[in-house]
């Protein structure tokens, strides 16, 4: 959605007033954004076509630099690679100052600093993305503002992205639905004897057919808990777990579903049903105004009651342009603070919910779903194929 910037009349593709508040809370005067995902977010979807799959360039690397000063959207600057000029000519970016002139990290950061100073930006506290700022660019940025404090603004930008716009949610829904479709097609189209590597390659083909960028597929077959693609064969009567991330215009659909060659016995039916029960209990807790901890409070008692609880894991994490972005409810799976454990969920937040059983004799059994906080509760994206999908039938279920 386009939000008019104060005083400037610019069509800004994000809630800049919210970003101003988040920066103010951390006393940050200006942010130098250097990650591809945050540059994409702040530019309303723009990504450099030439560097969509790579960053390395000669002895340097691609570095987008977007400069945003608190309360001064009319001074926003974007410095991109010289090849981005062609994209900017076709779809002009909203930033008042756009320079597609760089050819590496030093070019990019020096031009961004030069333009910031030209616009009278004199910060006391400079925000940067420490995890996405190359050392050579960091040294230049530090030297350019010797009297300013340089701080990590990664969490500020993460909090900004936490509430998704309707357009972002459409992309997440499409990505989730297409990952499910791809899984169903691959499972139905492959009989006993196919290798895990062949199944992952088939997932790649099916996701690309549907307009997604294939990112990964964690895969297990039978009782082997190893999740890497390999020459291991998916045999008759064996279970299969597909956990895949498909990216649609930057937004990740992250889904896990189960399959089997043949018919599942009663124990397998019960195990998957138990996981599904935990998942759905967690879904019900997703609603505006409740703390993120409520999701765990709904799922953990059911997990602990299970006779398989010693082999079971439950996790809920944010999802969007980045896997494990805000809302952040646990710090077990990634190096971030669980600040949304006690903070309320808000409409537009997106949560990935996953329950995993690593059964010592029946193998790896898991469901993962994408759940969106709505004004009245929640909505699940990619809801289908929750049971045992039959392999090699030629028919999607």
Q: What is the pLDDT of residue 382?
A: 87
DSSP annotation of 249: T
The rounded distance, in Å, linking the Cα atoms of 307 and 16 is: 49
Q: What are phi and psi of 101, to 5 degrees?
A: -135, -10
User: Do the beta carbons of residue 156 and residue 23 sit within 8 Å?
Assistant: yes
Looking at the domain covering 166-390, what would its CATH class be? alpha beta
What pLDDT does residue 334 have? 62
d(CA 243, CA 201): 13
Helix (H, G, I), strand (E, B) or coil at 238: coil
Q: pTM here? A: 0.93
Q: Give the separation between CA 15 and CA 25, rounded to whole angstroms.
A: 16
Q: Which residues, other chains included, contact 292 with Cβ-Cβ below 8 Å and sequence gap of 6+?
A: 316, 327, 328, 329, 338, 340, 341, 342, 343, 345, 351
| Residues 68 and 30: beta-carbon distance below 8 Å | yes
Structure confidence at residue 8 (pLDDT): 46
End-to-end CA distance of the chain: 36
CATH number for region 3-161: 3.40.350.10
Cα 348 to chain centroid distance, Å, stands at: 14
CA–CA separation, 78 and 84 (whole Å): 11
Cα 288 to Cα 344: distance, rounded to the nearest angstrom: 7
pLDDT of res. 134: 97
Cα separation, 223 vs 213, in Å, equals 30
Residues ≥6 apart with Cβ < 8 Å to 225: 358, 363, 364
What CA–CA distance (Å, rounded) separates 76 from 246?
32
What tens-digit pLDDT sequence spans the chain (397 residues)? 334 334 346 889 999 999 999 999 999 999 999 999 999 999 999 999 999 989 999 999 999 999 999 999 999 999 999 999 999 999 999 999 999 999 999 999 999 999 999 999 999 999 999 999 999 999 999 999 999 999 999 999 999 999 999 999 999 999 999 999 999 999 999 999 999 999 999 999 999 999 999 999 999 999 999 999 999 999 999 999 999 999 999 999 999 999 999 999 999 999 999 999 999 999 999 999 999 999 999 999 999 999 999 999 999 999 999 989 999 987 665 667 888 899 999 999 999 999 999 999 999 999 999 999 999 999 999 889 999 999 999 865 4
**SS3 per-residue string spanning 298-317:** HHHHHHHHCCCHHHEEEEEE
Task: Identify the CA nearest to 314 among candidates 250, 364, 357.
Answer: 357
For the chain, the domains span 3-161, 166-390
The whole-number pLDDT of residue 330 equals: 78
Quote the pLDDT of residue 53. Answer: 87
Helices 266-285 and 293-305: angle between axes, nearest 10 degrees: 160
Max CA-CA distance within the chain?
A: 71
| H or E element, residue 183 | helix 166-188
Tokens at residue 145, please? 């503002």
Burial class (CB in 10 A: 0-12, 13-18, 19+), 232: middle
168 vs 74: CA distance, rounded Å: 24
């Amino acid at each position: 959605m386009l939000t008019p910037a104060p005083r400037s009349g610019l069509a800004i593709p994000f809630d800049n007033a919210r970003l101003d508040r988040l920066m103010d809370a951390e006393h940050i005067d200006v942010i130098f954004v250097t990650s591809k995902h945050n540059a994409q977010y702040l530019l309303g979807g723009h990504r450099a076509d030439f560097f969509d799959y790579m960053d390395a360039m000669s002895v340097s690397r691609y570095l987008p630099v977007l400069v945003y000063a608190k309360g001064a959207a009319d001074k926003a600057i974007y410095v991109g690679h010289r090849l981005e000029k062609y994209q900017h000519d076709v779809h002009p970016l909203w930033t008042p100052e756009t320079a597609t002139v760089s050819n590496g990290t030093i070019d990019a950061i020096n031009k961004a600093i030069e333009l910031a100073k030209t616009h009278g930006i004199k910060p006391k506290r400079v925000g940067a993305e420490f995890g996405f700022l190359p050392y050579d660019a960091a040294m230049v940025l530090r030297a350019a503002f010797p009297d300013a404090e340089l701080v990590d603004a990664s969490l500020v930008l993460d909090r900004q992205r936490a509430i998704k716009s309707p357009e972002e949610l459409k992309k997440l829904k499409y990505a989730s639905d297409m990952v499910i479709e791809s899984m169903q097609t691959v499972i139905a189209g492959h009989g006993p004897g196919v290798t895990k590597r062949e199944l992952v390659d088939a997932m790649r083909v099916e996701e690309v057919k549907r307009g997604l960028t294939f990112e990964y597929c964690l895969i297990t077959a039978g009782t082997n808990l190893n999740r890497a693609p390999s020459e291991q064969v998916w045999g008759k009567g064996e279970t299969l777990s597909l956990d895949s991330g498909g990216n649609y215009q930057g937004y990740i659909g992250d889904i896990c579903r189960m399959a089997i060659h043949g018919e599942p016995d009663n124990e397998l039916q019960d195990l998957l049903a138990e996981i599904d029960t935990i998942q759905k209990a967690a879904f019900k807790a997703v609603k505006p105004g409740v703390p993120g901890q409520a999701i765990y409070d709904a799922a953990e008692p059911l997990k602990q009651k299970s006779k398989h609880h010693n082999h079971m894991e439950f996790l809920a994490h944010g999802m969007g342009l980045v896997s494990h972005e805000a809302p952040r409810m646990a710090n077990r799976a990634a190096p971030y603070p669980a600040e949304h454990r006690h903070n309320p969920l808000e409409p537009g937040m997106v949560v990935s919910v996953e329950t995993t059983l690593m059964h010592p004799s029946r193998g790896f059994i898991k469901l993962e779903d994408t759940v969106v906080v709505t004004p009245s509760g929640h909505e699940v994206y990619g809801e289908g194929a929750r049971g045992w999908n039959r392999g090699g039938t030629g028919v999607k279920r």
